[in-house]
Amino acid sequence: MSVFGTGSKDEWLLIIDSGVEQLGYDNGWCTSAFGPQAQIQNTAVGGSNLTAAITANPIMPRALPTRRGLQALALILATAYATILIYQAVAPRQWPEEAVVVINRVISDGRSDTGEMQKISVEETAVTPPVATATMAPFSTDLNDVFISVKTTRHYHHSRLPSIIDTWFQYAKDQTWFFTDKDDQYLQNRTNGHLVNTKCSSSHNRRALCCKMSVEFDRFLESGRKWFCHFDDDNYVNVPRLLKLLDNYNPREDWYLGRPSIPAPLEIMRQQGADSSKRPQKVKFWFATGGAGFCISRALALKMVPVAGGGKFITVGDRIRLPDDVTMGYIIEHLLKKQLTVVEQFHSHLEPMKFLNEDTFHEQVSFSYSKDPRDEWNVVKIDGFRLKDDPNRFRSIHCRLFPHETDCSRR
């Protein structure tokens, strides 16, 4: 269907082609490419009535009144609009990225409203998932991909380490290293040479703690392994569950896995730059508590090297005057702007351990314990060995997870 003017700009004819392939008009004349000429003569124009006298043969185009033509055009447009609405209702929804492309194209083609286009794009992209999430496709983690460090001190060589060496250490003997502050040949033999004297102080102050963490970090870098997992000497580590956890994360990406022990980010005041006249600024960041354990991917560790490698970790700890696990969080979250991924299956002695459900023990990555000044134990509630034989409950946990072990028959 085509609409043509008749020479007068105020008069229109609706000519419905009937087998005519090309039509030309010139000052009142309509010419068919395949038939004789047809003269269109305006005989009367009055009000809304338009009369057209058409002389033609053998093909006779039909002229319709303007009102009917407009009605027909309106009907066609309404039908097209209804078709679009029906299509939108039944067609599959687009993904947000596709929707942004379509919306932007419509806006730029229609009215070039860049402000609105930017607004829509921001609204669509705001629905993206959080950065700090596990990778969807699992990665196979071998035990040799992991470097496990256990921080200890000479004061706990014979009160804490034996229960670790007799239990979970047996499942990761070649991957676990004990970082202490004194040589001990007996433990060196029992651990197959995996006792490291850091030469750090045996005190529990922040500088001694940062000193040991610095040695742990540098030894991991030298190992070439994919994951650095730190624990304390009051942790039982469920080694198979640790590997299963790491299967969900790509070590070539930046990952900081652990569990905070405080309900909100830590806030500290930091002097910005060397100018002491400037007002200190508030710094907020999360950190994974070392008493529950945490893991860092090699990709992230390599980004930390300029700040923390080669003993620089101690310097950062001195600058902010905070312990080792807090310093680690400061470097990763504040300096490198990488988020902590919270893993609830890490547990520290700061939790009431008795509330851990025994039926979920196989899902946990680490357990802990503590004893207060009144000699009351904070331990998991579990049947097993007698308390005097297993006060921290590590042997009972071990036999709950691995009942086939020979020593478990003596429970």
Catalytic (active-site) positions: 325
Give whole-number Cα distances, 146 to 142, 188, 224, 280, 345, in Å.
7, 21, 10, 40, 18
Length of the chain: 411
Cβ burial of 9 (10 Å; 0-12, 13-18, 19+) is exposed
| 206-223 helix and 298-308 helix, angle to the nearest 10 degrees | 130
C-alpha–C-alpha distance, residues 366 and 278, integer Å:
44
312-320 helix and 206-223 helix, angle to the nearest 10 degrees? 150
Reported as type and span, the H/E element at residue 328 is: helix 324-329
**CB environment 156-177: b (16+ within 10 A), e (fewer):** ebeebbebbbebbbebbeebbb
Measured CA distances, 300 to 47, 217, 218, 304, 306 (Å): 82, 12, 14, 6, 12
Residue 410 tokens, joined? 């003596």
Q: What tokens were used for 272? A: 């910005």
Phi, psi for residue 151 in degrees, rounded to 5: -85, 130
CA 219 – CA 228 distance, rounded (Å): 10
Quick check: bond before 58 cis, omega within 30? yes
